[in-house]
């Protein structure tokens, strides 16, 4: 604790108080069972997370198809495919 206090420029007492507040808050939250339902911010973030996961999945599938030569979009005529040799 003394190393952290020195590095952050605060007293050991402050760090001990912050630690105790953190632990008390966590214990209180567990005892209370947390919120009954997600907050509006949590709901918005969950929806955004679902959208991002879906977009990532689509991009991953497009990349896999492209790598297998079944690209959804035709190859550009002005830039050859790199790393591919004709057999």
Answer yes or no: is 61 within a domain: yes
Structural domain boundaries, residue 13: 1-34
Q: Which two tokens stand for residue 50?
A: 């679902």
Residue 34: pLDDT band with limits 50, 70, 90: low
User: Does the pTM of the predicted model rise above 0.85?
Assistant: no
Query: Cα separation of 81 and 71, whole Å?
Result: 12
Q: Which residues contact 81 (CB under 8 A, 6 or more apart)?
A: 75
For the chain, state the CA radius of gyration: 26
- At which residue do the structure tokens 């689509």 appear? 58
Q: How many domains does the chain have?
A: 2
Q: What is the per-residue pLDDT for 87?
A: 47
| 1 and 18 inside one domain | yes
| 65 and 49 inside one domain | yes
| Model confidence pLDDT, tens digit, residues 1-17 | 888 888 889 999 999 99
Residue 32 reports pLDDT greater than 50: yes
Answer yes or no: is 43 within a domain: yes
| 7 and 27 inside one domain | yes
| 1 and 27 inside one domain | yes
| Model confidence pLDDT, tens digit, residues 37-75 | 888 999 999 999 999 999 999 999 999 888 888 655 555
Q: What is the per-residue pLDDT for 2?
A: 87
| 23 and 43 inside one domain | no
Q: What is the per-residue pLDDT for 65?
A: 87
SS3 78: coil
């Amino acid at each position: 604790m003394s190393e952290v206090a020195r590095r952050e420029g605060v007293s050991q007492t402050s760090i001990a108080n912050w630690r105790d507040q953190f632990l008390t808050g966590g214990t209180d939250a567990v005892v209370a069972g947390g919120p009954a339902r997600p907050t509006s911010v949590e709901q918005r973030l969950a929806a955004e997370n679902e959208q991002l996961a879906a977009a990532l999945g689509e991009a991953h599938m497009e990349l896999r198809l492209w790598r297998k030569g079944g690209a959804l979009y035709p190859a550009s005529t002005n830039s050859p495919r790199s790393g591919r040799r004709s057999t």
